[in-house]
A and B are shown apart, each in its own frame.
Chain A
Amino acid sequence: MRDDAQTDTNLGQTERLFSLVGGGLVLLAALRRPSISTLPVALGGGYLLYRGLARQDPVYEALNIRRNDDGGKLLVRRSATINRPRAEVYAFWRNFENLPGFMEHLQSVTVAAEDDRRSHWVTRAPLGQTVEWDAELVEEQAGELLAWRSLPGADVENEGRVEFRDALDGSGTIVDVTLEYRPPLGAPSVVVARLFGEQPWQQVRDDLRRFKQIMEAGEVPTIFAQTSGRLQEVANERARLRGE
């Protein structure tokens, strides 16, 4: 699925500018002393120049990354089919406190006691840090749609949207998830990406797979702490399982 609003460009303005200027300079430098050894440099410069001119990066395109404007926001869309009734799938997601059970980077979500449209989110960040924000439910159509958004003051502005629909062939409920993160004041989007794993688009796919596994199979399959000839690894994993 593609973002309908901005179809041709997946680069932010800042990134595009860097690409144009940087790529042009690199290319020029390389062309002044053409040789086999400067060829890769010229090609690299040419590529940067191209993506700047074209306002879009074929690699990003292939990886389904969009970073239009807003200082490099990160947009990820993923879809999964769950063999459970739509109302049940919706209800599980509607209780945001269930999300850390399958979204790996989430440490906890606490729904406000006085207002179930408000919640506090805590995510794991590198080096034992956490990133936190308050969020509110901004749209709710029972069994069909959920959308939430971080409140002003969030470490990382973000919003999410999930649409629920019946698979046409009766094979369950299709969930379409869109997540969007905006870093504080122009920080490179790659920094945000790091907060959510090396590859956010893979992360969300894995999260959705776990969601499906919990809904259908009742558990996320695991081989953690199982036996093998790697005695030290087994001992370490079992210690972690016991909470040591």
Chain B
Amino acid sequence: MKAVCWYGIHDVRTENVPDPIMVSPRDMILRVTSSSVCGSDLHLYDGMVVTMREGDIIGHEFMGEVVEVGKEVHKVKPGDRVIVPSLVACGHCTFCAEGNTSWCDNSNPNAWVLEKMYGQSPAGFFGYSHGFGGYAGCFAEYMRVPQADVGAFKAPAGYTDEQLLFASDAAPTGYQAAEYANIRPGQTVAVWGCGAVGLFAMKSAWLLGAGRVIAIDRVPARLRMAREQCGAEVLNFEQVDVVEALIEMTGGRGPDACIEAVGMEADQGGLEGAYDRVKQTLRLETDRPYALREAIRACRKGGTVVVMGVYAGFVDKFPIGAIFNKGLTIRAGQQHGHHYIPQLLRYVEEGRLDMTFPITHRFSLDEAQTAFELSRKREDDLVRAVFFH
């Protein structure tokens, strides 16, 4: 079959590889019908994620049609059209039982790697390095999905792939960010990053009762999408001092909740930008945290900062003093997709959530290199690239 394999920095290739096989009675084989290049895939593309191996099939946001199921799979059958979250969950450990599936104890075959780094390992992810499990990803014609009864969600009838695809990752991640923000009616939520996750965080903030949503980015097309599709007031961080602006816009208090949907490869000019780029290049820090520093500085006293952009290692000049003295609550983590997908699909069916709008570009798997280059450079007004397989 055809699949997109990772070979190194800015080197992904569409190749012929063996078809996937089932190795457990809880597995299923999925014919992937559509998938999307997530911002976190760009960290792989830029070589920021360790424990990748040449030839790894990448991709983790997808949906498709079930073609084969193991004999322990009872909830889906061949022919079903399903959405699968970007991670594997066992469904039975204490974390899965309480809905926190990205903390699953039992789905990462290489848990020991992350235990060395983090103390404990999160769940295994599709197509996201061997530390995170090494599972073959979704930029392929077919893929193996372990624990299918836990991970496959039937697509509601009458909707296209475009209308449902982001239920796999971007939408639940954004929704979780808004839920973690602990929004009370009428409160102000600021969101750093107008990629798909940030945009869904804005939509979700409205669904959860926000009174005001402010978006921060520097790419005009993305700011426009935040304003027009997500009802956000927008700030271009290249034109204004974001922290000053936010404090002024909120009666001198700062936003009640600040959602950071940017992650470890944040863009920043000036001295601070140069400082972090040098340290990151020398591996003195692994992640560049400008947006996070800003969010912490802008957030009102007693407010909540939600870290939804992907971080992997260590950051420098972390403003712990502001967190302590303003009594901030920090919440963070990978999406617990299994917990949020049913709710999000209900919102879609009720007409309260459109998940189609971030798609700006459509590619075939053969055009993977182009899709990645455009996504990386954020050129051509690209917000999200989708593969139709």
Contact = CB atoms under 8 A, between A and B. Distances in A.
Pairing of A with B? yes
Interface of A: 81, 83, 171-172, 202, 205-206, 209, 212-213, 216-231, 233-235, 238, 241
A172 B105 contact: no
B57 A229 contact: yes
Contacts of B111: 209
B88 A228 contact: no
Which size class do B's interface residues fall under?
Answer: 35 or more
Nearest to A232: B55
B379 interface: no
A228 B55 CA distance: 6
Contact of A226 (B15, B72, B93, B135): B135
B15 to A, nearest CB: 5
B136 A226 contact: yes
Interface string B1-42: 101010100000101011111011010000000000000000
Interface string B267-304: 00000000000000000000000000000000000000
Contacts of B19: 227
Interface in B44-68: 53-57
Scoring A81, A83, A220, A234 by chain B CB atoms within 10 A of each residue's CB, the highest score goes to A83
Given A217-B107, A221-B106, A228 B23 contact: no
Contacts of A224: 23
A63 to B, nearest CB: 13
Given A217-B107, A219-B26, A225 B21 contact: yes
Nearest to B109: A221
Contact of B134 (A216, A220, A223, A234): A223
B146 interface: yes
Nearest to B90: A217
Listed residue (A205, A213, A220) with the most chain B CB atoms within 10 angstroms of its CB: A213
B97 interface: yes
Given A221-B107, A222-B23, A227 B18 contact: yes
B168 interface: no
A83 B108 CA distance: 17
B78 to A, nearest CB: 20
A223 B130 CA distance: 10
B120 to A, nearest CB: 11
A154 B136 CA distance: 44
B174 interface: no
Contacts, number: 103
B309 interface: no
7 contacts: A171-B94, A217-B147, A221-B108, A221-B109, A223-B133, A226-B144, A227-B136
B91 interface: yes
Interface of B: 1, 3, 5, 7, 13, 15, 17-21, 23-24, 26, 53-57, 72, 88, 90-94, 97, 105-109, 111-112, 124, 133-136, 140, 144, 146-147
B88 A227 contact: no
Contacts of B5: 228-229
Given A202-B112, A224-B23, A212 B106 contact: yes
A222 B109 contact: yes
A227 B3 contact: yes
Given A226-B144, A230-B53, A217 B17 contact: no
**4 nearest CB pairs, A to B:** A229-B55, A217-B90, A229-B5, A230-B55
Contacts of B144: 226-227
A216 B182 CA distance: 32
A216 B24 contact: no
A235 B19 CA distance: 11
A119 B205 CA distance: 61
B21 A83 contact: no
A83 B107 contact: no
A213 B15 CA distance: 34
A171 B5 CA distance: 40
B17 A212 contact: no
A216 to B, nearest CB: 5
Contact of B23 (A213, A235, A241): A241
Nearest to A219: B24
